[in-house]
Amino acid sequence: MRSLILQALVLASCSSDLSLPEAGGDPVPPGSIEPPGLLARAPSVFRLRVAGGARRSAVFDYRLFEGELGAYHLGRIRERELPATLLERELPVFSWLEERDVLVAPLSPLASGKYSFASPEIGLVAEVVVDASLAPVLERAWPPPEVTTGGGSMIFCGDAAGIVVPGPVSFAPSGIGGIVTAGLDANGAFASDCIRVEPRQGVVAGTPLLPPPFVGDVALAPRALVVVEEKIEPPVCAAAEVTVGPICASVADDRVELRSPGAPAFVAFTLPRPMFGAVRPGASLVLRGFEPASRARIVGLAFDWRGDPVPIDLEFETALRRPHIVLNEVFSNPVGAETAGEWLELVNDGTQAVELGGFVLDDAVEPVTLPAHRLEPGAFALLVAETYAPDPELELVPEPDVVLLRVPRLGRSGLANAGELLRLREPGGAVVSRFPPLAAPGPGTSVARRTPDAPDADSVSFGAHASPGASPGRPNALEAE
Protein backbone atom coordinates (compact mmCIF):
# COMPACT_ATOMS: atom_id res chain seq x y z
CA MET A 1 0.00 0.00 0.00
CA ARG A 2 1.29 3.50 -0.84
CA SER A 3 1.29 6.35 1.66
CA LEU A 4 -0.89 9.29 0.68
CA ILE A 5 1.58 11.78 2.15
CA LEU A 6 4.90 9.97 2.22
CA GLN A 7 6.04 7.89 -0.66
CA ALA A 8 9.39 6.71 -1.99
CA LEU A 9 12.82 6.68 -0.18
CA VAL A 10 15.29 3.95 0.66
CA LEU A 11 18.09 4.25 3.19
CA ALA A 12 21.55 2.86 2.63
CA SER A 13 24.77 4.41 1.56
CA CYS A 14 27.41 2.65 -0.38
CA SER A 15 28.40 2.75 -3.96
CA SER A 16 26.28 0.49 -6.11
CA ASP A 17 26.39 -0.55 -9.73
CA LEU A 18 23.14 1.32 -10.43
CA SER A 19 23.44 3.41 -13.62
CA LEU A 20 20.42 4.90 -15.35
CA PRO A 21 20.47 6.14 -18.96
CA GLU A 22 19.35 9.71 -19.61
CA ALA A 23 16.68 10.39 -22.21
CA GLY A 24 19.47 11.48 -24.57
CA GLY A 25 21.52 8.37 -23.98
CA ASP A 26 24.12 9.74 -21.54
CA PRO A 27 24.51 7.68 -18.36
CA VAL A 28 23.26 9.02 -15.05
CA PRO A 29 25.86 8.86 -12.23
CA PRO A 30 25.65 5.70 -10.11
CA GLY A 31 23.17 5.46 -7.28
CA SER A 32 24.03 4.71 -3.67
CA ILE A 33 22.46 3.52 -0.45
CA GLU A 34 22.73 5.34 2.85
CA PRO A 35 24.23 4.60 5.32
CA PRO A 36 27.13 3.05 3.38
CA GLY A 37 26.54 -0.53 2.42
CA LEU A 38 26.01 -2.89 -0.48
CA LEU A 39 22.89 -3.36 -2.54
CA ALA A 40 23.57 -7.08 -2.12
CA ARG A 41 23.69 -6.79 1.70
CA ALA A 42 21.80 -3.83 3.10
CA PRO A 43 20.58 -3.22 6.66
CA SER A 44 16.86 -3.30 7.41
CA VAL A 45 16.75 0.52 7.51
CA PHE A 46 18.28 2.40 4.59
CA ARG A 47 17.70 5.04 1.92
CA LEU A 48 18.23 4.61 -1.81
CA ARG A 49 19.75 7.59 -3.56
CA VAL A 50 18.93 7.58 -7.28
CA ALA A 51 21.54 9.89 -8.77
CA GLY A 52 19.89 12.16 -11.33
CA GLY A 53 16.62 10.37 -10.73
CA ALA A 54 14.56 13.57 -10.88
CA ARG A 55 15.33 13.84 -14.61
CA ARG A 56 13.90 10.42 -15.36
CA SER A 57 10.83 9.89 -13.19
CA ALA A 58 8.47 11.90 -11.00
CA VAL A 59 9.56 11.81 -7.38
CA PHE A 60 6.36 10.06 -6.23
CA ASP A 61 6.56 7.43 -8.98
CA TYR A 62 9.37 5.49 -7.29
CA ARG A 63 7.87 2.37 -5.74
CA LEU A 64 9.07 -0.55 -3.63
CA PHE A 65 8.04 -4.21 -3.87
CA GLU A 66 8.89 -7.38 -2.01
CA GLY A 67 10.78 -9.91 -4.09
CA GLU A 68 11.89 -9.75 -7.72
CA LEU A 69 10.01 -8.13 -10.59
CA GLY A 70 9.66 -10.06 -13.82
CA ALA A 71 9.05 -8.70 -17.31
CA TYR A 72 5.27 -8.97 -16.90
CA HIS A 73 5.19 -6.94 -13.69
CA LEU A 74 7.62 -4.34 -15.02
CA GLY A 75 5.35 -3.94 -18.03
CA ARG A 76 2.32 -3.39 -15.82
CA ILE A 77 4.28 -0.82 -13.79
CA ARG A 78 5.15 1.05 -16.99
CA GLU A 79 1.46 0.99 -17.94
CA ARG A 80 0.50 2.13 -14.42
CA GLU A 81 -1.93 -0.79 -14.18
CA LEU A 82 -0.72 -2.89 -11.28
CA PRO A 83 -2.44 -6.25 -10.77
CA ALA A 84 -3.71 -7.18 -7.31
CA THR A 85 -0.90 -9.72 -6.89
CA LEU A 86 1.66 -6.94 -7.28
CA LEU A 87 -0.19 -4.42 -5.11
CA GLU A 88 -0.11 -7.01 -2.32
CA ARG A 89 3.70 -6.93 -2.52
CA GLU A 90 4.02 -3.14 -2.50
CA LEU A 91 5.50 -1.44 0.57
CA PRO A 92 4.98 2.20 1.60
CA VAL A 93 7.88 4.56 0.95
CA PHE A 94 8.72 8.23 1.43
CA SER A 95 10.53 10.06 -1.39
CA TRP A 96 12.01 13.51 -1.81
CA LEU A 97 14.40 15.53 -3.95
CA GLU A 98 17.93 16.65 -3.21
CA GLU A 99 18.81 18.78 -6.22
CA ARG A 100 18.60 16.29 -9.12
CA ASP A 101 18.77 13.17 -6.94
CA VAL A 102 15.77 11.27 -5.61
CA LEU A 103 15.94 9.61 -2.22
CA VAL A 104 13.56 6.78 -1.46
CA ALA A 105 13.06 5.33 2.05
CA PRO A 106 10.84 2.44 3.14
CA LEU A 107 8.50 3.52 5.93
CA SER A 108 9.17 0.48 8.11
CA PRO A 109 12.18 -1.73 8.84
CA LEU A 110 12.54 -4.43 6.18
CA ALA A 111 12.84 -8.12 6.95
CA SER A 112 15.66 -10.13 5.43
CA GLY A 113 15.09 -10.84 1.76
CA LYS A 114 15.13 -9.32 -1.74
CA TYR A 115 13.33 -6.09 -2.65
CA SER A 116 12.85 -4.24 -5.94
CA PHE A 117 12.57 -0.51 -6.65
CA ALA A 118 10.83 0.51 -9.83
CA SER A 119 9.11 3.40 -11.59
CA PRO A 120 6.92 3.63 -14.71
CA GLU A 121 9.50 5.61 -16.70
CA ILE A 122 12.60 3.64 -15.71
CA GLY A 123 11.26 0.16 -15.03
CA LEU A 124 13.56 -1.66 -12.63
CA VAL A 125 15.55 0.92 -10.66
CA ALA A 126 17.42 -1.36 -8.26
CA GLU A 127 17.31 -4.66 -6.45
CA VAL A 128 18.34 -4.67 -2.80
CA VAL A 129 19.00 -7.70 -0.62
CA VAL A 130 18.38 -6.97 3.06
CA ASP A 131 20.15 -8.69 5.92
CA ALA A 132 18.23 -7.70 9.04
CA SER A 133 20.99 -9.05 11.30
CA LEU A 134 23.39 -6.28 10.28
CA ALA A 135 22.18 -3.76 12.88
CA PRO A 136 19.76 -3.56 15.81
CA VAL A 137 16.62 -1.50 15.24
CA LEU A 138 14.80 0.68 17.76
CA GLU A 139 11.06 0.83 17.10
CA ARG A 140 9.21 4.09 17.54
CA ALA A 141 7.22 3.74 20.73
CA TRP A 142 5.85 7.26 20.67
CA PRO A 143 3.85 8.28 18.77
CA PRO A 144 2.71 4.68 18.14
CA PRO A 145 4.11 3.28 14.87
CA GLU A 146 0.74 3.47 13.11
CA VAL A 147 0.26 7.18 13.90
CA THR A 148 1.34 9.53 11.08
CA THR A 149 0.78 12.95 12.68
CA GLY A 150 2.08 14.56 15.86
CA GLY A 151 4.01 17.39 17.41
CA GLY A 152 7.42 16.30 16.15
CA SER A 153 8.92 14.67 19.27
CA MET A 154 9.58 10.93 19.01
CA ILE A 155 10.50 8.19 21.48
CA PHE A 156 12.30 5.04 20.30
CA CYS A 157 12.66 2.01 22.56
CA GLY A 158 14.41 -1.35 22.40
CA ASP A 159 17.24 -3.46 23.77
CA ALA A 160 19.89 -1.41 21.94
CA ALA A 161 18.80 1.97 23.37
CA GLY A 162 21.53 1.87 26.00
CA ILE A 163 24.33 1.91 23.41
CA VAL A 164 23.04 4.99 21.54
CA VAL A 165 25.33 7.99 21.90
CA PRO A 166 23.27 11.20 22.33
CA GLY A 167 23.98 14.08 19.97
CA PRO A 168 22.74 16.18 17.06
CA VAL A 169 20.83 14.71 14.12
CA SER A 170 18.79 16.02 11.21
CA PHE A 171 15.35 15.14 9.90
CA ALA A 172 14.60 14.45 6.24
CA PRO A 173 13.54 15.84 3.86
CA SER A 174 13.96 19.41 5.15
CA GLY A 175 17.24 18.93 7.00
CA ILE A 176 15.75 20.42 10.18
CA GLY A 177 18.16 19.93 13.05
CA GLY A 178 17.32 17.69 15.98
CA ILE A 179 18.80 16.17 19.11
CA VAL A 180 18.99 12.61 20.44
CA THR A 181 18.64 12.37 24.23
CA ALA A 182 19.05 9.26 26.38
CA GLY A 183 16.08 8.27 28.50
CA LEU A 184 12.68 9.84 28.98
CA ASP A 185 13.46 12.83 31.19
CA ALA A 186 16.27 15.18 32.14
CA ASN A 187 17.57 12.62 34.65
CA GLY A 188 17.83 9.88 32.03
CA ALA A 189 15.02 7.70 33.36
CA PHE A 190 14.75 4.47 31.33
CA ALA A 191 17.98 5.34 29.47
CA SER A 192 18.71 1.65 28.94
CA ASP A 193 15.32 1.23 27.26
CA CYS A 194 14.47 4.39 25.32
CA ILE A 195 15.82 7.49 23.59
CA ARG A 196 14.11 10.73 22.57
CA VAL A 197 14.57 12.30 19.13
CA GLU A 198 13.30 15.87 18.96
CA PRO A 199 13.53 18.87 16.62
CA ARG A 200 15.76 21.61 18.04
CA GLN A 201 13.64 24.40 16.60
CA GLY A 202 9.99 25.15 15.98
CA VAL A 203 8.56 23.16 13.10
CA VAL A 204 5.83 24.55 10.86
CA ALA A 205 2.59 22.59 10.72
CA GLY A 206 2.46 20.34 7.66
CA THR A 207 6.20 19.59 7.74
CA PRO A 208 7.03 15.88 7.33
CA LEU A 209 9.77 14.58 9.63
CA LEU A 210 11.66 11.37 8.90
CA PRO A 211 14.21 10.47 11.59
CA PRO A 212 17.81 9.65 10.63
CA PRO A 213 18.28 6.04 9.52
CA PHE A 214 21.03 5.40 12.06
CA VAL A 215 22.32 6.89 15.29
CA GLY A 216 25.78 5.44 15.55
CA ASP A 217 25.46 1.70 15.03
CA VAL A 218 21.75 1.57 15.89
CA ALA A 219 18.98 1.94 13.29
CA LEU A 220 15.81 3.91 13.96
CA ALA A 221 12.54 2.59 12.55
CA PRO A 222 11.73 4.93 9.62
CA ARG A 223 8.29 6.04 10.79
CA ALA A 224 7.52 9.49 9.39
CA LEU A 225 5.41 12.13 11.13
CA VAL A 226 3.62 15.11 9.66
CA VAL A 227 3.63 17.95 12.19
CA VAL A 228 0.15 19.22 13.02
CA GLU A 229 -1.16 21.87 15.36
CA GLU A 230 -3.93 20.69 17.60
CA LYS A 231 -5.35 22.09 20.79
CA ILE A 232 -4.99 19.69 23.67
CA GLU A 233 -8.18 19.34 25.66
CA PRO A 234 -8.09 17.96 29.22
CA PRO A 235 -9.27 14.35 29.38
CA VAL A 236 -12.92 13.73 30.19
CA CYS A 237 -12.91 10.76 32.55
CA ALA A 238 -15.84 8.76 33.86
CA ALA A 239 -17.13 9.46 37.36
CA ALA A 240 -15.47 6.33 38.75
CA GLU A 241 -12.10 7.13 37.13
CA VAL A 242 -9.15 9.25 38.25
CA THR A 243 -7.51 11.79 35.93
CA VAL A 244 -3.80 11.04 35.44
CA GLY A 245 -2.28 13.71 33.21
CA PRO A 246 -3.68 13.17 29.69
CA ILE A 247 -5.27 9.79 30.55
CA CYS A 248 -7.84 8.22 32.86
CA ALA A 249 -7.30 5.54 35.49
CA SER A 250 -9.75 2.97 36.81
CA VAL A 251 -8.64 1.58 40.17
CA ALA A 252 -9.48 -2.04 40.99
CA ASP A 253 -8.16 -4.37 43.69
CA ASP A 254 -4.72 -5.52 42.52
CA ARG A 255 -4.53 -3.48 39.29
CA VAL A 256 -5.13 -0.10 37.70
CA GLU A 257 -6.45 0.18 34.15
CA LEU A 258 -5.26 3.19 32.16
CA ARG A 259 -7.13 4.40 29.10
CA SER A 260 -7.04 7.39 26.78
CA PRO A 261 -10.38 9.15 26.25
CA GLY A 262 -9.01 11.04 23.24
CA ALA A 263 -5.58 11.14 21.63
CA PRO A 264 -3.08 8.39 22.49
CA ALA A 265 -0.52 8.98 25.23
CA PHE A 266 2.75 7.41 26.38
CA VAL A 267 3.41 6.58 30.02
CA ALA A 268 6.47 5.54 31.97
CA PHE A 269 6.29 4.55 35.64
CA THR A 270 9.01 4.12 38.24
CA LEU A 271 6.48 3.11 40.92
CA PRO A 272 5.03 0.58 41.69
CA ARG A 273 7.63 -0.93 39.32
CA PRO A 274 9.41 0.21 36.16
CA MET A 275 7.23 -0.08 33.06
CA PHE A 276 6.34 2.00 30.02
CA GLY A 277 4.07 1.86 27.00
CA ALA A 278 1.53 3.59 24.80
CA VAL A 279 -2.09 4.06 25.85
CA ARG A 280 -4.20 4.10 22.70
CA PRO A 281 -7.89 4.92 22.35
CA GLY A 282 -9.75 1.62 22.42
CA ALA A 283 -6.86 -0.20 24.09
CA SER A 284 -6.02 0.01 27.79
CA LEU A 285 -2.75 -0.43 29.62
CA VAL A 286 -2.99 -2.36 32.90
CA LEU A 287 -0.70 -1.80 35.87
CA ARG A 288 -0.44 -4.85 38.13
CA GLY A 289 0.97 -5.74 41.52
CA PHE A 290 -1.03 -3.62 43.97
CA GLU A 291 -2.23 -4.89 47.33
CA PRO A 292 -6.04 -4.99 47.56
CA ALA A 293 -7.77 -2.74 50.12
CA SER A 294 -4.68 -0.65 50.78
CA ARG A 295 -3.06 2.69 50.10
CA ALA A 296 -1.11 2.72 46.82
CA ARG A 297 0.94 5.13 44.73
CA ILE A 298 2.04 5.48 41.11
CA VAL A 299 4.92 7.76 40.06
CA GLY A 300 6.14 8.52 36.57
CA LEU A 301 5.60 10.54 33.41
CA ALA A 302 2.88 10.78 30.79
CA PHE A 303 3.59 12.21 27.33
CA ASP A 304 0.74 13.82 25.42
CA TRP A 305 0.43 13.59 21.63
CA ARG A 306 2.86 16.52 21.21
CA GLY A 307 5.47 14.69 23.25
CA ASP A 308 5.26 17.10 26.19
CA PRO A 309 5.91 15.27 29.51
CA VAL A 310 3.44 15.56 32.38
CA PRO A 311 4.66 14.40 35.84
CA ILE A 312 2.53 11.74 37.56
CA ASP A 313 2.43 11.25 41.32
CA LEU A 314 -0.88 9.82 42.46
CA GLU A 315 -1.99 8.16 45.69
CA PHE A 316 -5.22 6.16 45.90
CA GLU A 317 -7.05 3.38 47.73
CA THR A 318 -7.34 0.02 46.02
CA ALA A 319 -10.60 -1.92 46.12
CA LEU A 320 -11.41 -5.07 48.05
CA ARG A 321 -10.03 -8.27 46.56
CA ARG A 322 -12.30 -9.91 43.98
CA PRO A 323 -11.98 -13.00 41.77
CA HIS A 324 -10.38 -12.56 38.35
CA ILE A 325 -11.64 -15.60 36.48
CA VAL A 326 -11.39 -14.71 32.80
CA LEU A 327 -13.05 -16.03 29.64
CA ASN A 328 -9.79 -16.33 27.73
CA GLU A 329 -10.37 -18.29 24.52
CA VAL A 330 -13.34 -19.65 22.55
CA PHE A 331 -12.99 -22.58 20.16
CA SER A 332 -16.36 -22.76 18.42
CA ASN A 333 -15.46 -24.08 14.96
CA PRO A 334 -13.57 -27.39 15.08
CA VAL A 335 -12.27 -29.01 11.93
CA GLY A 336 -14.29 -32.11 12.75
CA ALA A 337 -17.64 -32.56 14.47
CA GLU A 338 -18.91 -29.23 15.80
CA THR A 339 -20.08 -29.89 19.34
CA ALA A 340 -17.70 -32.80 19.96
CA GLY A 341 -14.59 -30.62 19.62
CA GLU A 342 -15.75 -27.27 21.05
CA TRP A 343 -14.37 -25.75 24.22
CA LEU A 344 -14.10 -22.51 26.16
CA GLU A 345 -10.99 -21.63 28.16
CA LEU A 346 -10.91 -20.08 31.64
CA VAL A 347 -7.85 -18.66 33.38
CA ASN A 348 -7.38 -17.36 36.92
CA ASP A 349 -5.74 -13.97 36.39
CA GLY A 350 -5.88 -13.07 40.08
CA THR A 351 -3.57 -13.65 43.02
CA GLN A 352 -5.69 -16.11 45.00
CA ALA A 353 -7.30 -19.47 44.26
CA VAL A 354 -11.00 -19.40 43.34
CA GLU A 355 -13.62 -22.13 43.80
CA LEU A 356 -15.51 -22.32 40.50
CA GLY A 357 -18.48 -24.23 41.84
CA GLY A 358 -21.54 -21.99 41.54
CA PHE A 359 -20.12 -19.74 38.81
CA VAL A 360 -22.45 -19.50 35.80
CA LEU A 361 -21.62 -19.35 32.10
CA ASP A 362 -24.36 -17.16 30.66
CA ASP A 363 -24.88 -17.12 26.88
CA ALA A 364 -28.25 -15.36 27.27
CA VAL A 365 -29.98 -18.55 26.04
CA GLU A 366 -28.89 -21.61 28.02
CA PRO A 367 -26.93 -20.64 31.15
CA VAL A 368 -24.97 -23.47 32.76
CA THR A 369 -23.53 -23.75 36.28
CA LEU A 370 -19.88 -24.70 36.59
CA PRO A 371 -18.88 -27.78 38.59
CA ALA A 372 -16.73 -27.59 41.70
CA HIS A 373 -13.04 -27.03 41.02
CA ARG A 374 -10.39 -24.97 42.79
CA LEU A 375 -8.56 -22.91 40.15
CA GLU A 376 -5.18 -21.75 41.36
CA PRO A 377 -3.65 -18.35 40.40
CA GLY A 378 -2.41 -18.48 36.82
CA ALA A 379 -4.06 -21.85 36.17
CA PHE A 380 -6.21 -22.73 33.15
CA ALA A 381 -9.28 -24.92 32.71
CA LEU A 382 -11.40 -25.86 29.71
CA LEU A 383 -15.19 -25.86 29.81
CA VAL A 384 -16.44 -28.64 27.56
CA ALA A 385 -19.77 -30.33 26.95
CA GLU A 386 -20.42 -33.79 28.36
CA THR A 387 -20.16 -35.11 24.79
CA TYR A 388 -16.67 -33.62 24.27
CA ALA A 389 -14.62 -36.10 22.25
CA PRO A 390 -12.22 -34.36 19.82
CA ASP A 391 -10.78 -36.31 16.90
CA PRO A 392 -6.99 -36.31 17.52
CA GLU A 393 -6.36 -36.64 13.76
CA LEU A 394 -8.25 -33.43 13.07
CA GLU A 395 -8.13 -31.30 16.20
CA LEU A 396 -5.48 -29.81 18.45
CA VAL A 397 -6.08 -31.98 21.51
CA PRO A 398 -5.34 -30.52 24.99
CA GLU A 399 -2.30 -31.89 26.80
CA PRO A 400 -3.06 -34.53 29.48
CA ASP A 401 -2.43 -32.07 32.33
CA VAL A 402 -5.10 -29.62 31.14
CA VAL A 403 -8.16 -29.61 33.41
CA LEU A 404 -11.45 -30.39 31.62
CA LEU A 405 -14.62 -29.18 33.35
CA ARG A 406 -17.61 -30.95 31.81
CA VAL A 407 -20.98 -29.19 31.77
CA PRO A 408 -24.28 -30.42 30.30
CA ARG A 409 -23.85 -28.25 27.19
CA LEU A 410 -22.12 -25.22 25.72
CA GLY A 411 -24.83 -23.02 24.25
CA ARG A 412 -28.20 -24.34 23.08
CA SER A 413 -26.67 -26.66 20.47
CA GLY A 414 -23.02 -25.82 20.75
CA LEU A 415 -21.08 -22.56 20.51
CA ALA A 416 -22.17 -20.38 17.59
CA ASN A 417 -19.59 -20.11 14.79
CA ALA A 418 -20.93 -16.62 14.08
CA GLY A 419 -20.12 -15.61 17.64
CA GLU A 420 -22.25 -14.92 20.69
CA LEU A 421 -21.94 -12.80 23.81
CA LEU A 422 -20.65 -14.93 26.69
CA ARG A 423 -20.66 -13.76 30.29
CA LEU A 424 -19.22 -15.41 33.36
CA ARG A 425 -21.10 -14.66 36.56
CA GLU A 426 -19.91 -15.31 40.09
CA PRO A 427 -22.31 -17.11 42.47
CA GLY A 428 -23.80 -13.77 43.56
CA GLY A 429 -24.75 -12.95 39.96
CA ALA A 430 -22.19 -10.23 39.21
CA VAL A 431 -20.45 -10.48 35.84
CA VAL A 432 -16.71 -11.05 36.28
CA SER A 433 -15.76 -11.55 32.61
CA ARG A 434 -17.25 -11.01 29.14
CA PHE A 435 -16.31 -12.42 25.75
CA PRO A 436 -17.68 -10.48 22.75
CA PRO A 437 -19.73 -12.04 19.91
CA LEU A 438 -16.86 -12.49 17.45
CA ALA A 439 -17.14 -14.95 14.57
CA ALA A 440 -14.73 -17.88 14.44
CA PRO A 441 -11.89 -17.05 11.99
CA GLY A 442 -12.20 -20.47 10.36
CA PRO A 443 -12.18 -24.20 11.11
CA GLY A 444 -9.53 -25.06 13.65
CA THR A 445 -8.87 -21.46 14.74
CA SER A 446 -10.07 -19.94 17.99
CA VAL A 447 -10.91 -16.38 19.00
CA ALA A 448 -8.50 -15.49 21.80
CA ARG A 449 -7.90 -12.73 24.33
CA ARG A 450 -4.58 -10.95 23.78
CA THR A 451 -3.60 -11.24 27.47
CA PRO A 452 -5.65 -12.39 30.46
CA ASP A 453 -5.87 -8.81 31.80
CA ALA A 454 -6.86 -7.30 28.42
CA PRO A 455 -10.10 -5.45 29.26
CA ASP A 456 -13.41 -6.84 28.01
CA ALA A 457 -14.44 -3.56 26.39
CA ASP A 458 -11.23 -2.85 24.44
CA SER A 459 -11.48 -3.23 20.68
CA VAL A 460 -8.03 -4.81 20.40
CA SER A 461 -8.32 -7.26 23.30
CA PHE A 462 -9.47 -10.14 21.08
CA GLY A 463 -8.45 -11.63 17.75
CA ALA A 464 -7.71 -14.74 15.75
CA HIS A 465 -5.28 -17.12 17.39
CA ALA A 466 -1.94 -17.55 15.65
CA SER A 467 -0.66 -20.89 14.32
CA PRO A 468 -1.40 -23.67 15.17
CA GLY A 469 -4.83 -22.08 15.58
CA ALA A 470 -5.49 -22.48 19.31
CA SER A 471 -3.77 -23.08 22.67
CA PRO A 472 -6.08 -25.08 24.94
CA GLY A 473 -4.89 -24.71 28.52
CA ARG A 474 -1.89 -22.57 27.54
CA PRO A 475 -1.19 -18.81 27.05
CA ASN A 476 -2.58 -17.30 23.87
CA ALA A 477 -0.72 -15.94 20.86
CA LEU A 478 -2.67 -13.74 18.43
CA GLU A 479 -2.03 -13.32 14.74
CA ALA A 480 0.10 -10.31 13.86
CA GLU A 481 -1.91 -7.23 12.99
Q: What is the 3 state secondary structure string of 341-359?
A: HCEEEEEECCCCCEECCCC
Q: Which of 6-10, 225-229, 245-249, 443-447 has the highest mean pLDDT?
A: 443-447
Q: What is the mean pLDDT of the chain?
A: 89
The model's pLDDT over 183-220, given as tens digits with 9 standing for 90+, comes to 998 889 999 999 999 998 778 889 999 999 999 999 99
Long-range contacts of 196-202 (CB under 8 A, 24+ apart): 196/153, 196/154, 196/155, 196/156, 196/307, 197/153, 197/154, 197/155, 197/156, 197/169, 198/152, 198/153, 198/154, 198/307, 199/152, 199/153, 199/171, 200/168, 200/176, 201/176, 201/177
For residues 330 and 346, what is the distance between their CA atoms, to the nearest angstrom? 9
The model's pLDDT over 116-160, given as tens digits with 9 standing for 90+, comes to 999 999 999 999 999 999 999 999 999 999 889 988 999 999 999
pLDDT at 17: 37
Residue 405: Cβ within 10 Å count: 18
Residue 176: Cβ within 10 Å count: 19
Whole-angstrom CA distances from 222 to 11, 238, 251 are 9, 37, 37
Per DSSP, the residues of 294-362 read SEEEEEEEEE-TT--EEEEEEEEEPPPP---EEEEEEE---SS-HHHH-EEEEEE-SSS-EE-TT-EEE
Give mean pLDDT, residues 271-280. Answer: 90
Which of 24-28, 141-145, 316-320 is the least confident region? 24-28
Q: Say if residue 4's pLDDT is above 50.
A: no
User: Residue type for 353, please?
Assistant: A
Give mean pLDDT, residues 12-24. Answer: 37
User: Residue type for 67, please?
Assistant: G
pLDDT at 5: 38
- Of 255, 267, 222, nearest to 96 by C-alpha is 222
For residues 257 and 255, what is the distance between their CA atoms, to the nearest angstrom? 7
Partner residues linked to 324 by β-bridges: none
Q: Say if residue 16's pLDDT is above 90.
A: no
pLDDT at 56: 85
> Is the CB of residue 114 less than 8 Å from the CB of residue 127?
yes
Residue 132: Cβ within 10 Å count: 17
> Is the CB of residue 381 less than 8 Å from the CB of residue 359?
no
The model's pLDDT over 337-395, given as tens digits with 9 standing for 90+, comes to 888 999 999 999 999 999 999 999 998 788 999 999 999 999 999 999 999 999 999 99
Is 136 exposed, middle or buried, given 0-12, 13-18 or 19+ CB atoms closer than 10 A?
Answer: middle
Question: The whole model's pTM is what?
Answer: 0.83
pLDDT at 201: 78
pLDDT at 481: 58
For residue 158, give the DSSP letter: S
Which residues in 275-304 are b (16+ Cβ under 10 Å) and which e? bbbbbbeebbbbbeebebeeebebebbbbb
